[in-house]
Each structure stands twice: as C-alpha cells, then as structure tokens.
Structure 1
C-alpha cells in the first residue's frame, strides 16, 4: 500500500494521522456463529500486522500490547501474520531483530496456547525464500523458537471443559509475487482443501488466514474465519479506503463480514505499511467472545 504523507499533512491531518498510528484499542465482538455451541464459551485475542520496526513498532511497544492481552485472560491467542516490516516502510524506519519481537510475543499467556500463521511480508523479506518458493522463513523460525505454534495448512483439536473445536491455520496466499503481462500476480502456499481434510469429526472450526480473499471460497463448515492484511485500509476517509490490498476492493476491508450465513472478522491490525500513518483506521487488538450471544 502507498499513501502520500505530504498530501495528508497538507490537508491539515498529518499530525493526527501520525498520532493515530500509536496505541492499541480493544475491539470486542460477542457472537455464536453457525455451528458453534452456545454452551462453549471461548475467548480469543487476535493480533495482526505488527510490522515490527524502529521507531514505529518496537519490541517494547509489542511487549506493552502483550501485557494488554494477558490482562484480558484469553483462552487462546491468535497471531495473523506480517510480523516484520520487510521493505514496506524502509526509509522511515529500521528493522527490529527477529529475536527481539518474537521474544516479546513469547510473553503471551493462554491455556489453549498461542497460534500463528505467516503473512506476505514474512515471506517477502527474504527474496531467496521467494525464489526457491518454500520456507522456512526467518519470521516462522523466530516464532517457533519463541515457543509459538506456527500453522501452515494445519489443524489442531482444542478442548475446553470437555468440549472440542478445531483451530486451522492457512498458508499465506500472497507468498510468491510475480509479474506477467505487465501486471502483478500472487501465488501462495495456501491449501484450503488439504487443511480441511485434516478435520476428523463434526466439531466446529475456526480458520486463521492472513489475507481475507480466501473467504469467497470458504465453505459453511467453517464457523468463523479470522483475517488481517488490509489494515482496515490504513487510511480511511469517511469510511472509504482509497487503497485496499484485495482483489475484492472494499468487500473484505474490515470488521464483521457475513456472506451466505458464513462469518469472517477482518482485523484492522496494529502496524503500518508503506508509510507510518493511520487515519480513520486506528490500531486494534481484537477480542472475540464465542458462545456468548446468538447472531
């Protein structure tokens, strides 16, 4: 994504947009999506799109968010990718070493664990990985060394009070960029059919993805899809985002999206891409309380 800082500042909004880039609101959802038992209360805390970099998203700032999350007593913490800034805001910042941001995330506490998927920038930061079209990625290694489970088209069956559900994590859909016919194309490591084939019973499924576009193909068997990537537009003017990194434009921009009784929540994320500016799309930690209200 690319935005003009000078243009924003010239409109008298630059200072506000920069200030809005810091902090972290808690956005709360209460729901019982289709297929989810009303007597299975599960609290999920979701962090997405950190884009760790100095000075905008330091390890110290991430550690502060970790403290926020832990005070909310989640059953499970889900990390939806783009832990690194990569080349996205290069001239405005410098990288945070992988060990530092990953060690900050290692402080997350949840009885059902901390689970992660990778995002496009976690692949793009290392062009040797992109060229050979396979991992491991530096971000993935850092997360695993910090004790965080990284899902790449895998599922795990989780239990609370004798009730079960499946947590699935999809590979990234934009891992391998290329140019053909004068246009940019993306190929991914994602395997939705292969991921769902690992589900061995009728317990409900939560699907973690980075890019929300896969939701157009998500079967109703999945109770809830969780996505990041869009930053909620990062810059939204009167609710409209001029730039959305999605082939569906505004359709999967942000928030609770329902199509054909299928449900997805798209997080606005925490960091920035292209420039360290947010306007009308403040950083957020997402809290989802499942089994607490009927949709």
Structure 2
C-alpha cells in the first residue's frame, strides 16, 4: 500500500531541502573560496631525480587578485602560510589579475611588492598565465609586447621565465628549473598563437641534472619530453567544482584528465594545482584554495607547517 506523506512532512522536507541548498550556496560562494586555505602535500618518486637531492617547494597558482574575492589581506595570509612551510624554493604559476569576475581590480604593483615577502633560500621564480596577458589591455590591442606584471615582478627580484631554464644548487646537488611562456596569451586563440616553445626551453638545459618544468596550462603535458622529472601546472582551478574525484566542467585533453592533482602518463609526472582564485564564476566547491607543497627526494623529517 502506498503511504503518502502528510502535509506537515511534505513542508518539512521542502524546508530542509531549501535550507540545504542555501547552506551549500553560502559554502560555495563564501566559505570555501574566501575563507579556507589548505596545504596539499606531494612526495612523488620521480624519474631521473637525484636520490641525494632533497628539495622542499611551495607552489602558488592562480591568485586572481581583486575585490571582493582575493583582496590583499587574503594575499598576505597566503604569503604568511607559505613562509611558515619553510620551503627551499617558491614557484608562482601565473594568473595574477582576476579578469572578468572582479568587482574592483587591484594594483599589480602592490601584489608584486607582497610577493617580494616570500622567503626561500633558492628564491621565488614565476611564469605568466593567460590572464596576465588578457588583463593587459595594451598587449591585447597590439597582439604583442610584455605584460606589466612581468616587469613589476622582475623589479622586485622575482624572475619571470618564458622558455628559459636556470640551474640551481641545493646542498651541492644541482637541478634545473624551467618555465614555459603562456600557451594562450591572446583572447580567442589557442595554440595558433601560443608563446610556449618546448625545444627552446630544452636547449637551455645543458647537463644531465634533474629538471622541473613550470607550465601554466596543463594541456601541453601531452606533448612534453620525458627530460622533465616533474611538470607543474595551474590554470584549471581544479574545475572550481569537483565532486567524487571529478571536475565535470573541464574538458579532457585527447581523452586525458588534466583537471587536478598528481597525473602520471607514460612514465611522466605532472602535478596540477587547484590554485587560490576564481574566473568566469565566483564559486568553489570541493576544491578549496591550496598551497601545493612538494617534498622531493629521500624521506626525512620536515619542518612543521
């Protein structure tokens, strides 16, 4: 026999559903994107890595500074949290301005000044992302030039790498840090106007020391050489909505899911950061803003976070 709910039960269920929907909305619009900050740790066993090289790397991606979603007090919180991890090296993976969701844009000069506050013995190194180009009206109108944020960061002693590599040394053990130029510097283009030059970047690596690559968009991982022990990417924000281990709004790249996390393909390793900020819509759900902390090399006690 079918037993229908009473009017009171029906209204109670409707109210509970409405309350849950409202609570989920508050969480996705306010709590997760603007109040949460997590440290996501990876300690991958990498190919072609020097077993005697122990390296601690803080990776910061996709700030998208603006009000109200990424104000400067939030940036300061991220800088303090990164410094507390005591990294050997800090890497910035691009997309510093906010783009279309900003209610109010913030000065990139102040952002660069705050990045100067990051502390690591091997320094802070950066690449550019698509929004660093898209948000710069001068380079978009000319379809050429140098984004202002590159000049501002370099004026603060933070090199911005575009198809370059630098040889660094930790405890007498060398490694290479490489950075690709952006793959989508102009709005409405993809690949046809990419500035990324993998052969040129590889040519800058002149010995057999292990190499880490910074690439803003993860899509290029499909075409990379196995010369790189690890590729680091951002751009996706983990899809901004991630449920049951999937990011439903992001397309696959020739059948491969490059949306988030540690990806191993044909023996090559990539870690895609969920980053901090947002674009297109001001929502994050299931992928809280994160500092990625890499602990590479032999396992050993690490400084407290």
TM-score, structure 2 normalization: 0.86
Tell me: CA distance 1:282–1:46, structure 2 relative to 1, closer, same or farther (3 Å).
same
Residue range with higher mean Cα deviation, 49-58 or 125-134 = 125-134
- Structure with larger Rg: 2
Q: What RMSD over aligned residues (CA atoms) do the two structures have, in Å?
A: 2.0
Aligned pair 1:67/2:73, yes or no? no
Displacement of 1:247 in angstroms is 4.3
Tell me: CA distance 1:222–1:103, structure 2 relative to 1, closer, same or farther (3 Å).
same
Return the alpha-carbon distance in structure 1 between the equivalents of residues 192 and 291 of structure 2.
Answer: 28
Tell me: CA distance 1:40–1:258, structure 2 relative to 1, closer, same or farther (3 Å).
same
Tell me: CA distance 1:273–1:178, structure 2 relative to 1, closer, same or farther (3 Å).
closer
**1:99: which partner in 2?**
109
Return the alpha-carbon distance in structure 2 between the equivalents of residues 186 and 137 of structure 1.
Answer: 19
Corresponding residue SS for 2:43: strand
Return the alpha-carbon distance in structure 1 between the equivalents of residues 236 and 253 of structure 2.
Answer: 11
> What does the per-residue CA deviation read over 1:102-140, in whole Å, with 9 as the maximum and x for residues that have no partner?
111110011111000000000001233124333310111
Name the structure with the higher strand share: 1
Alignment match of 1:21 (pick from 13, 33, 49): 33
Displacement of 1:250 in angstroms is 6.3
Mapping of residues 123-272 of structure 1, within 5 Å = 123-178=133-188, 187-244=193-250, 247-248=253-254, 251-272=257-278
Asked whether the 8 Å contact 2:99–2:279 carries over to 1, the reply is: no
**1:83: which partner in 2?**
96
Q: Which runs of 5+ in 1 are unaligned?
A: 1-7
- Runs of 4+ aligned residues of structure 1 deviating over 6 Å after TM superposition are none
Return the alpha-carbon distance in structure 1 between the equivalents of residues 185 and 192 of structure 2.
Answer: 7
Aligned pair 1:119/2:129, yes or no? yes
**2:69: which partner in 1?**
56
Larger RCO (CA under 8 A, 6+ residues apart)? 1
TM-score, structure 1 normalization: 0.89
Return the alpha-carbon distance in structure 1 between the equivalents of residues 162 and 145 of structure 2.
Answer: 10
Displacement of 1:153 in angstroms is 0.7
Displacement of 1:275 in angstroms is 2.1
**2:293: which partner in 1?**
287
Tell me: CA distance 1:47–1:161, structure 2 relative to 1, closer, same or farther (3 Å).
same
Q: Which runs of 5+ in 2 are unaligned?
A: 1-17, 300-305
Return the alpha-carbon distance in structure 2 between the equivalents of residues 69 and 35 of structure 1.
Answer: 27
Asked whether the 8 Å contact 1:86–1:121 carries over to 2, the reply is: yes
Displacement of 1:160 in angstroms is 0.9
Displacement of 1:237 in angstroms is 3.0
